[in-house]
Amino acid sequence: MTSSANPHPVAANGYAGDVSPEQAWTWVQSGEAELVDVRSDAERAWVGFVPGAHALAWKQWPGMAMNPEFDAGMQALGSGGKKLLLLCRSGVRSIAAAQRATELGLQAYNILEGFEGDPDAQAHRGLKGGWRFRGLPWQQN
């Protein structure tokens, strides 16, 4: 297994940077960051979630419409000055969400690989990286 552990954020365009799932968890455990799950409510309910993460969808099911509460929610979460670590399914939507949070004046990072990682050759997720694959805390309903 290849580890994505990297103690330093990778520079990014339009937001604070990209961090590995392991680095994100280290920051959360130390109290210097808040974990924000930007997946839809349906994804968290069906696929799983990180205990203690803040649920604030970037887009909502059905139709993946923009969440009108996103900006206010991010501002509230970032009001204490902590880093905001954004998690989605594969690390793509969380980039857009991190860019928006940065536009709002917040220090936002994308978590590489997301919750489920990239699909493998059979289009199955969870086998090629991601929060769950890395053995970090998660639960399922």
Maximal CA-CA distance, the chain: 43
Helix (H, G, I), strand (E, B) or coil at 74: helix
What pLDDT does residue 6 have? 55
Strands 108-111 and 65-66, by their bridges, are unpaired
Q: Which residues of the chain, if any, have pLDDT below 50?
A: 1-4
Select from 51, 29, 25, 55 the least CA-distant residue to 40.
Answer: 55
Characterize 101-126 residue by residue with b for buried, 16 or more Cβ atoms within 10 angstroms of its Cβ, and e for exposed: bbeeebbbbbbbbbbbbbeeeeeebb
Q: Which residues share a beta bridge with 37?
A: 55, 87
What pLDDT does residue 1 have? 34
| CB-based contact 109:16 (threshold 8 Å) | yes
pLDDT tens digit sequence for 46-71:
999 999 999 999 998 788 889 999 99
Q: Which domains does the chain have, with CATH numbers?
A: 20-111 (3.40.250.10)
